[in-house]
Amino acid sequence: RKEVEQDPGPFNVPEGATVAFNCTYSNSASQSFFWYRQDCRKEPKLLMSVYSSGNEDGRFTAQLNRASQYISLLIRDSKLSDSATYLCAVKGATGTASKLTFGTGTRLQVTL
């Protein structure tokens, strides 16, 4: 089983739609969770951290379910500029022994 799993998509949605991505992780000791956005042939950029209580940043909402070991990202009112690959990332522990493990990414295409 992969450490971090995502549906690769692609998700094709019209502008203005709401879209949700899920990600599951296998290591129950994982401590930190993130969503990254990666545009075609570019580096991943941190979109948001995911906190236990859930957190929101504008049109983006992230949720963490430790019991079921999954995290989610909800994008409301999708824009054309949201088209990208969204990578889920999980870190095992804080400090220098940590490594960030990524899923394969979910591709989102927002259309007119």
Partner 1 sequence: DAGVTQSPTHLIKTRGQQVTLRCSPKSGHDTVSWYQQALGQGPQFIFQYYEEEERQRGNFPDRFSGHQFPNYSSELNVNALLLGDSALYLCASSFQGYYGYTFGSGTRLTVV
Told to check if 108 binds partner 1 by CB under 8 A, we report no
Residue 55 to residue 75: CA distance in whole angstroms: 12
Q: Which is nearer to partner 1, 12 or 18 (CB)?
A: 12
Answer whether 10's CB lies under 8 Å from 19's CB.
Answer: no
Kindly state the number of chain residues that form the binding site for partner 1, as judged by CB under 8 A: 28
Query: What does the per-residue mask of binding to partner 1 show for 1-20, with x meaning CB under 8 A?
Result: ---x-x-x------------
Q: Which of 70, 62, 59, 61 is nearest to 17 (CA)?
A: 59
Name the amino acid, one letter, at 112: L
Binders of partner 1 among residues 35 to 74 (CB under 8 A) are 36, 41-46, 49
Which residue has tokens 């998509």? 9
Q: How far is the CB of 94 from partner 1 (least distance, A)?
A: 6
Residue 34 to residue 111: CA distance in whole angstroms: 26
Binding site for partner 1 (CB under 8 A): 4, 6, 8, 32, 34, 36, 41-46, 49, 87, 89, 91, 94-105
